[in-house]
Amino acid sequence: MGSQQQHQLEQDDQLESQRDHHASEAGLVQGLRKDDLELEALDPNKKTKYEEEEEKENLGLEDELSVERIFEKLTVPSWKEQLTVRAFFISFVLSVLFSVIVMKLNLTTGIIPSLNVSAGLLGFFFVRTWTKFLDRCGLLKQPFTRQENTVIQTCVVASSGIAFSGGFGSYLFGMSARIAEQSTDKSSSDIKDPGLLWFIGFLFVVSFLGLFSVVPLRKIMIIDFKLTYPSGTATAHLINSFHTPQGAKLAKKQVKELGKFFSFSFLWGFFQWFYTAGSDCGFASFPTLGLKAYQNQFFFDFSATYVGVGMICPHIVNISVLLGGILSWGLMWPLIENRSGDWYSKELGPKSMNGLQGYKVFIAIAMILGDGLYNFLKVLSRTLIALQSQLRAKDRRTQLFLKDQIPAWFAVGGYVAIAAVSIATLPHIFPQLKWYYILVIYLFAPTMAFCNAYGSGLTDWSLASTYGKVAIFMIGAWAGSAHGGVIAGLAACGVMMNIVSTASDLTQDFKTGYLTLASPRSMFVSQIIGTAMGCVISPCVFWLFYKAFTDLGTPKSAYPSPNAVVYRNMAILGVEGFKSLPKHCLLLCAIFFGAAILINVIKDCIGKKRARFVPIPMAMAIPFYLGSYFAIDMCIGSLIVFLWERVNKAKANAFVPAVASGLICGDGIWTLPASILALAGVKPPICMRFLSRGENDRVTTFLTGKA
């Protein structure tokens, strides 16, 4: 009996540690949005999380009950009262803010940290400030509740999520001529350049299906299976804490820190702008580790954004990115470059996919696919094993969750109606994507959406981009190169990715609503409105970037959009096969594909304690194409957190997300005035460039005319 109690206490300690970890948002990373950076996986031999939660309930140790005692005397507003005009006004403002930030990250490295904490915190701050003002004036009619706070957070995350799942840095931009010029196939029949109107139209017909596909299963996911949905649970705990007296005080301090570092980051971006009058100018081109290292993409570029990203991302993600940069730019690319003339022609330009650039892109793709395939099969197998009947326990929370039912006929009818409109509309946007391709996708999509939502509930990992890549290969190969297989594959990726992504996001929101007593109907309506906002805001934000920065999508640009090149070449690979690869590239791809799987196998076999020191293949692959400059920024962010935790761990856990969000938001928002200045033709006055001594002597000689 004593050993059983000891085992139970160990499990409780693990769960407490996981809650602390999630509440600090240290482990919540969006894939290449949090989709693609898996950190820890459950041991198949251990009990599932909902079984542990069941035991916790039986022992009376579930902390949510103690939270509810604080609010038990408060009346829960109806679902209509939770949907307020002020909530959606604040949501719109924050959606623009976070869409700009996500778009910037999407077009630079594709690493996007979770911004749920920032959305909940800023939503709380703005509405609480407004309601306090009205209360002092005697005009407050409706108090600010945690349910309304949940509606704001849901709407903002749904809207800004479109900036990622909409494909502006991946499959949609990958269709353009600008990206095709950097790829192996430059066929004019497989090109569709960006357009604001067709972007908006495409998103409106594909972004809502995922919401309707999982609505009938919400009770099974949340109550019967008791899935944890760590991101949704962490967000709910934070929102609940904001609305307690102690939590409100902490939230006020967190907002103060966020504002302080937001201001610093914004002003730092403004200051840097003055020195960027030409290419390779400014602090972002500072050869901090020497000119040779700079040529191989090793330098600190003074980016507040990626220092902030590094503070939010777990240490192993940052170290993995740095290791990938050292392996590729420090070792592999110089060695392959020495084989020019043998492995590939010396006459090829630096952008040619038949030269060194081909190795960079396709080896990165191999690692991404190897890591994605392994974890796809792992999560899918865990999902199938875990699908079994669970006991139900009805309490106040469960009764409220089941009170405002969303009728099954409404969900099914909505899915069929939107699917019919989509099947009729998409072939007009993409003639290469035949109606029967779309029909097949929509027949399988609900199953894929369920698997993704279930797997996300178990592991906090969405496989949206992996499902999208599967669609690229399947539809691209089906269409073939003669019938526009590249565009068909990329468009199919967008259809599948949007469905499974919104499905997992909605179930996360249902979990958050379940824990904050927000109505499922208000969650669903908020998600619908947020998605509609995102379908307009995100294309407009991308269009601003596209028009303001004319070199967007090129390797030397401040916004190289590396994933667009990767996704297009995946489509080419699916259509043409391996004949498009340069010499020995297939062998190297196979080695790195196998290495990615082997690393994951080792990670899962050595136990969680040791596995946290094993690098993540997906993260290692990111700098293969881009370089290591952002990895150094992220590692500096990691170092700041490490030292802060050594000095005062409690304070670090409380304020790291706020400080990091301030750094990310300030630098991200500076992009808006920078874009407006660029569109207005206002150029920076100074070019700060760094030259070697020999180059400096030649420039001086040229300018003075003296030998």
What pLDDT was estimated at residue 601? 92
The residues spanned by each domain of the chain are 84-392+411-691
Amino acid identity at 695? E
pLDDT, mean over the chain = 80
Q: How far is CA 520 from CA 74, 127, 471, 511, 533, in A?
A: 19, 22, 31, 9, 20
Q: What is the mean pLDDT of residues 321-349?
A: 87
For the ranges 38-42, 255-259, 271-275, 661-665, the one whose mean pLDDT is highest: 271-275
Q: What is the mean pLDDT of residues 653-677?
A: 83
Tens of pLDDT, residue by residue over 364-384, are 878 877 887 787 777 667 766
- Of the listed ranges 132-136, 272-276, 623-627, the one predicted with least confidence: 623-627
Residue, of 232 and 488, whose pLDDT is higher = 488
- Of the listed ranges 15-24, 342-351, 352-361, 667-676, the one predicted with least confidence: 15-24
Sign of CA dihedral 391, 519, 236, 463: positive
Tens of pLDDT, residue by residue over 569-584, are 888 887 877 776 788 8
Check pLDDT > 90 for residue 409.
Answer: no
Check pLDDT > 80 for residue 560.
Answer: yes
What pLDDT was estimated at residue 128? 87
Region of residue 632 (left: phi > 0; alpha: psi -120 to 50; beta: else): alpha
Q: What is the mean pLDDT of residues 270-297?
A: 86
Tens of pLDDT, residue by residue over 3-61, are 444 444 344 444 444 444 434 433 333 443 344 443 333 344 444 444 444 444 443 33
- Looking at the chain, how many residues does it have? 707
Helices of type H across 581-648: 585-605, 608-611, 617-626, 629-647
- Of the listed ranges 159-163, 203-207, 222-226, the one predicted with least confidence: 222-226
For 284, residues 6+ apart whose C-beta sits below 8 A from its C-beta are 272, 276, 301, 302, 303, 558
What pLDDT was estimated at residue 5? 42
Residue, of 50 and 663, whose pLDDT is higher = 663
Q: For residue 702, how far is the Cα from the chain centroid?
A: 49
Cα 194-98-632 angle, rounded to 5 deg: 90
Tens of pLDDT, residue by residue over 99-148, are 988 898 888 877 676 677 778 778 888 888 888 888 888 888 888 888 99
Q: Is the separation of the CB atoms in 341 and 666 below 8 Å? A: no
Residue, of 74 and 16, whose pLDDT is higher = 74
- Of the listed ranges 359-368, 388-397, 537-546, the one predicted with least confidence: 388-397
Q: What is the mean pLDDT of residues 339-348?
A: 82
Distance CA 312, CA 329 (A): 25
Distance CA 251, CA 273 (A): 33
- 607 falls in which pLDDT band (50, 70, 90)? confident
Check pLDDT > 80 for residue 633.
Answer: yes
Q: Is the separation of the CB atoms in 631 and 321 below 8 Å? A: yes
What pLDDT was estimated at residue 532? 95
- 199 falls in which pLDDT band (50, 70, 90)? very high
Q: What is the mean pLDDT of residues 239-262?
A: 81
Check pLDDT > 90 for residue 654.
Answer: no
What pLDDT was estimated at residue 411? 81
What pLDDT was estimated at residue 541? 94
Q: Which of 667, 690, 673, 590 is nearest to 303 (CA)?
A: 667
Tens of pLDDT, residue by residue over 148-164, are 999 998 999 899 889 98
Check pLDDT > 50 for residue 428.
Answer: yes
